[in-house]
Structure 1
Amino acid sequence: MPIRNRANEKPGTRYGRRVVLRSGFILCGQTKYVALWVRCDCGRVDLVRKSMLVSGYADQCVECQADERSAVMIDQWAQRKRGMNTENRV
């Protein structure tokens, strides 16, 4: 069995918008995954697989990710709207 790197499991370690609170495990069938209890900057607490945090796939919670996507979509819409207004003025 490989030796587990516990250095990046310490409470206070930051991954993107999330901070580690403590370590735990997730059972999926007969497979046991190392997981971490994390708190997002928005206040949401989740249990996330350690490999997802370390790789960067889960560096923010679902709510923050949705807020970020909607902000990008609103900016894109505003840019298109401004472009349409300048074209009609000719």
Structure 2
Amino acid sequence: MNRSIVILMVVLMLCALSLVAAQQKTRTLYVALERAQTEERRLNQEWLRLEFEQRNLSKSARINEIARKQLQMQAINPARTQYVTVD
């Protein structure tokens, strides 16, 4: 009888330790999940900001402004147009 009680106590202790280990692993995985979701939200916000910035940089008005000011380009002038003819 004593032997069966000791065996049951050992099995009960192993089950209790297994439960504690499973709960700790669950907590650890939950914390990792929360961190990953926070990172996902941050990256989504960064992606939206970059898309907005790309749209602003690719607007034709901005391109025309840069062409005129930085590259010193001018609009087409028929008086300065040269035509090439082939014989």
TM-score (norm: length of structure 1): 0.37
Which has the larger strand fraction? 1
Larger RCO: 1 or 2 (CA < 8 Å, sep 6+): 1
TM-score (norm: length of structure 2): 0.38
Which protein is bigger by CA-based radius of gyration? 2
